[in-house]
Structure 1
Amino acid sequence: MDTTLRDGAQGEGISLSVEDKLRITAKLDALGVAYVEGGWPGSNPKDVEYFERVQKLPLKHAKVTAFSSTRRPGVTVEEDANIQTLVHAGTKVATIFGKTWDLHVFQALETTLEENLAMIRDTVSYLKKQGLEVIYDAEHFFDGYKSNPPYALETVRAAASAGADWVTLCDTNGGLLPDELSEILGKVKESLDVPLGIHVHNDGDLAVANTLTAVKNGAVMVQGTINGFGERCGNANLCSVIPNLEYKMGFTCLPPGGLALLTEVSHYISELANVTHFSQQPFVGMSAFAHKGGIHVSAVSKNPVTYEHMDPALVGNKRRVLVSELAGLSNLKYKAKELNIDIQFESPESRKIIRQIKELEHMGFQYEGAEASLELLLKKAFGQHQDYFKLESFKILMEKREDDGILSEAMIKLKVGKETVHTAAEGNGPVNALDNALRKALEQFYPEIKAIHLSDYKVRVLDEKDATAATVRVLIETTDQEATWSTVGVSENIIEASWQALSDGITYALYKKYSKEKKAQS
């Protein structure tokens, strides 16, 4: 059961539109998730609209569930607005949460223990009479059990006796240890005969471990979020839970072929949430199967099992070999094969380019996140590079007026073939002006440049102690309708570093286009 749209959306910095929520629902359905918790229809107009529109999605696997609390103290279910909104959400499944911890009953609800039990029974019974499948989330169950074991068990018995289809045990504060979970879950199994679920938060960095432990001890529904999004430190990360359950523990979670979509879904949801994807995230991160040390790469080239716990293709990821100051000939061989570059590996050029890369990285270049620049560097080193243009000079003027912003203008002189081009362009800043001037000069020769644009620009100061005279590294991400690529530049002058990355980005776009055409002709 995926709770990204409800619990995940409560994470700091995450805001999903109705359109985002509908797209994510469709993506989770394609993955093969059994239940998608869409939101709390009584809490805001956005969720009301979502539940109206989600009915029109042609879902194949997922049941959409609406979320709410039990009825309020002293109010009947028929009079409780949240319960009525839940019923009218149009879903076939309802998820409700109730209080387990006596501390919450007394201090949060400000009611009696008996009234809390009645609230649970009344709500579950009412929803069952409406024809709904009911998932009961026992909020703060484990903290409640530690505080008052008999009462905590009484709350989940109340839900089960009222007809709940599922009882989910929640570690809402996220402070549980796996051995505690095993012991308590064993006590619950002795008291209930309904299917059990598990819902844990990650405040102790144990959400995945606790979830797997719960399944090992009899839980059959796992609740979590994609990428572990959620309040405070997040929820159990389904991108780690699912492959561990399927690949390591032998359980079936998704329909056939679903596991191979996991990396795509993880990155897709990060993009919609406008959250940078965590590169070191297990299974689905860009670095999850990345190899940098020469000894590692040499071994992986012979047998990936030497430094990989599983085949990355199983989760839709791929192996990456990084070329850096730690690289050896094995890294270069692997990278050349991956980039389809013809290299004589025992040649002096091979040793020379490895030394050059190490020297460049010592200067501040970093090719792990700029593989387009690396590919161009290798092509040039082995005589397979083509110059689509050559810079003769550029000049940047900046004018600050008292009542206006700063006006930036770049003048550039290039040689394309035998023809010299001299042009100028303005921009919001010096780098933007330089980018505009470069494009303006080249578009008459290479019209395809109009289809590409700069999608990200990052500057990192490498020597903070040098203050404004410090060396900087510029990373530029460029994109077209088909792909995205990254380039790098390093200099004590931010404009020079930006030029290196900008010109590499344009050069790579042209190389990509013309090499594809040449391959098609051959």
Structure 2
Amino acid sequence: MEEQVKLYDTTLRDGTQGEGISLSVEDKLKIAKKLDQLGIHYIEGGWPGSNPKDMNFFERAKELQLEQAVITAFGSTRRPNIETERDPNLQRILDSGVKAAAIFGKTWDFHVTEALQTTLEENIAMIYDSVRYLKENGLEVIFDAEHFFDGYKHHRDYALEAIKAAEKAGADCLALCDTNGGTLPSEIAEIVKHVTEEVSITVGIHCHNDCELAVANSLEAVKAGARHIQGTFNGYGERSGNANLVSIIPNLQLKMNVPVVSDEQLQQLTNASKYIHELANQTPPNNQPFTGKSAFAHKGGMHVSAVLKHPETYEHIQPEKIGNERRVLVSELSGQSNLLFKAKELGISLDKNDPVVKELIQKVKEMEHRGYQYEAAEASFELLLREGIGESYKYFTLDHFNILTQKDGDFTTEVLVKLNVQGDSVVTAAEGNGPVNALDHALRKAIGEYYPLVNEMYLSDYKVRVLDGGDGTASTVRVLIESTNGKTTWSTIGVSTNVIEASWYALEDSIRYYFMKEEHRLEKNNVVAFIPEAGVKNH
């Protein structure tokens, strides 16, 4: 029976070396539990000899009830010309209480003489002594052969001698490291194959992504005989990052028929990826392969038409297998299929032969030509779609507003707004931190008595983009607003050459959309809920 491929995650150690990545002990414990649930075999918790945070993690990790993952400590071989029993880093690995350790050692002669500034013979002794010492103390030992591929290409015999010293000392696995991330897949395959012929223990792979080949190199290593893969979730890591386990896992399982987790665990991949992005305070890239929001998003009309008939025409796997979902975008590139799909998704019945479909497609294209972008503002798109079929949710209409900004020490902004609400003319004023904030306050104040639901929602994000910077201050701007009621979020859009006007359109859509979604509650409160084209419907 072929040896199982084991997954080794180093997000908590190597991943935190990435720029902008910082995890608290609590974060690391939560991620460890999530990785265990996903089926990861080894979780590298950190370097107990490097900082108090990592030592604290190992202490608290003893309390984790893990299903299968083995918490692993990281460290280096002993220092030159010192006994293993006196080496503080090795002692702290033992003190951490782990059952497995990954220790790195130099396998490139250039690094031995220039970085360590010791002899080639002493480096071999350092590797042998350190592995033997940890093994004698009952640990499973993974030897990370640092710079192995560069070392192999510059001095093959010495690189092989170094890993064979670890094997002779009792290492359980030899993880070959492409530390500089500069090796090509063809080189990885050739070298890993040769190593597997030279040693009798498990060979592993640890790749960095400096040439954007870390995932490809890891998969090539498996094809060549590696049975242990190291990487990080979401590809976090120093410089350009490490091999991304989020891509490696489904490629192994779904493309290469190499099972590493259960089908149920694989379905949690997207959730786990987003969860770790959130704890690391990172914005998930929409175009992240497999788990990104755009990974299965279709925009071109011909593509959408084909996907709706046979998803495999433009999807390499079923998104549900890794917990993602198919999305159809509506834009100036849209065709009838896009519109019909989105309408069905929103619960709107449209007949493809209805002339209104072509009118709506043309309307979308005209609006996008003006600067609207509905793929980023689906709430505004739904309002546009419903208005196109004869529905209109005009709970209030704007008569006018005036904005006064003055500097009296600090800048202050006051907005006076006049609205028509349920047939009443309402005038109110409010102050705010800038014109948009003041306008938001005034709008809420004006309609709050009629629609108390407005107090349940609030703006959670506000973005402005200049669309044609060549026109200077007369440029067209696009405003995107994200709103929430604490449970769900929705996005709306406004476009104008005036940023305040664009903001008003997005604000108005945000409130109209929420009221539309909560129409049943508005009716119970005996207020205007729905205004069809024919006239006003009162309750």
Query: Do they fold alike, i.e. is TM over 0.5?
Result: yes
Corresponding residue to 1:275 among 282, 301, 304: 282
3-state secondary structure, aligned to 1:53: helix
Which residue does 1:429 correspond to in 2? 434
2:492 is the counterpart of 1:484: no
Cα distance change of structure 1 residues 511 and 25 upon mapping to structure 2, 3 Å threshold: farther
Letter in 2 for 1:146: K
Between stretches 374-383 and 39-48, larger displacement belongs to 39-48
Query: Sequence identity of aligned pairs in percent?
Result: 59
3-state secondary structure, aligned to 1:454: strand
Which residue does 1:68 correspond to in 2? 75
TM-superposed deviation, 1:231:
0.9
Across the two proteins, how many residue pairs are aligned to each other?
517
3-state secondary structure, aligned to 1:78: helix
Between stretches 146-155 and 498-507, larger displacement belongs to 498-507
3-state secondary structure, aligned to 2:16: helix
Corresponding residue to 1:194 among 170, 181, 201: 201
Deviations 1:323-363 (A, max 9, x none): 11011111111111111112233222211111111011011
Corresponding residue to 2:49 among 29, 35, 42: 42
Contact 2:482 2:489 in 1 (8 A): yes
Contact 2:167 2:201 in 1 (8 A): yes
Distance 1:160 1:341 in 2: 65
Which residue does 2:517 correspond to in 1? 512
TM-superposed deviation, 1:199:
0.6
Deviations 1:458-502 (A, max 9, x none): 111110101111101111122233222211111111111112112
Cα distance change of structure 1 residues 118 and 446 upon mapping to structure 2, 3 Å threshold: farther
TM superposition score normalised by structure 2: 0.92
Cα distance change of structure 1 residues 75 and 252 upon mapping to structure 2, 3 Å threshold: same
Distance 1:506 1:187 in 2: 65
Distance 2:142 2:181 in 1: 20
Corresponding residue to 1:152 among 150, 159, 163: 159
Cα distance change of structure 1 residues 412 and 87 upon mapping to structure 2, 3 Å threshold: farther
TM-superposed deviation, 1:130:
2.0
2:101 is the counterpart of 1:87: no
Distance 1:247 1:333 in 2: 31
2:297 is the counterpart of 1:286: no
Cα distance change of structure 1 residues 25 and 416 upon mapping to structure 2, 3 Å threshold: farther
Which residue does 1:497 correspond to in 2? 502
Which residue does 1:19 correspond to in 2? 26
Which residue does 2:233 correspond to in 1? 226
Distance 2:34 2:377 in 1: 29
Distance 1:202 1:333 in 2: 41
Unaligned runs of 5+ in 2: 1-7, 524-539
Unaligned runs of 5+ in 1: none
Cα distance change of structure 1 residues 448 and 156 upon mapping to structure 2, 3 Å threshold: farther
Distance 1:268 1:39 in 2: 20
| Two-structure CA RMSD over aligned residues (Å) | 1.8
2:86 is the counterpart of 1:57: no
2:479 is the counterpart of 1:467: no
Cα distance change of structure 1 residues 49 and 511 upon mapping to structure 2, 3 Å threshold: farther
Distance 2:63 2:521 in 1: 41
Cα distance change of structure 1 residues 447 and 3 upon mapping to structure 2, 3 Å threshold: farther
Distance 2:32 2:191 in 1: 33
Corresponding residue to 2:131 among 119, 124, 130: 124
Distance 2:289 2:363 in 1: 32
TM-superposed deviation, 1:127:
1.3
Distance 2:522 2:106 in 1: 65
Cα distance change of structure 1 residues 389 and 88 upon mapping to structure 2, 3 Å threshold: farther
Letter in 1 for 2:185: P
Letter in 1 for 2:431: E
Letter in 1 for 2:391: Q
Alignment of 1:91-170 (within 5 A): 91-170=98-177
3-state secondary structure, aligned to 1:368: helix
Distance 1:19 1:419 in 2: 54
Corresponding residue to 2:444 among 435, 439, 445: 439
Cα distance change of structure 1 residues 4 and 90 upon mapping to structure 2, 3 Å threshold: same
TM superposition score normalised by structure 1: 0.95
Cα distance change of structure 1 residues 79 and 385 upon mapping to structure 2, 3 Å threshold: farther
Cα distance change of structure 1 residues 487 and 112 upon mapping to structure 2, 3 Å threshold: same
TM-superposed deviation, 1:420:
4.0
TM-superposed deviation, 1:436:
2.3
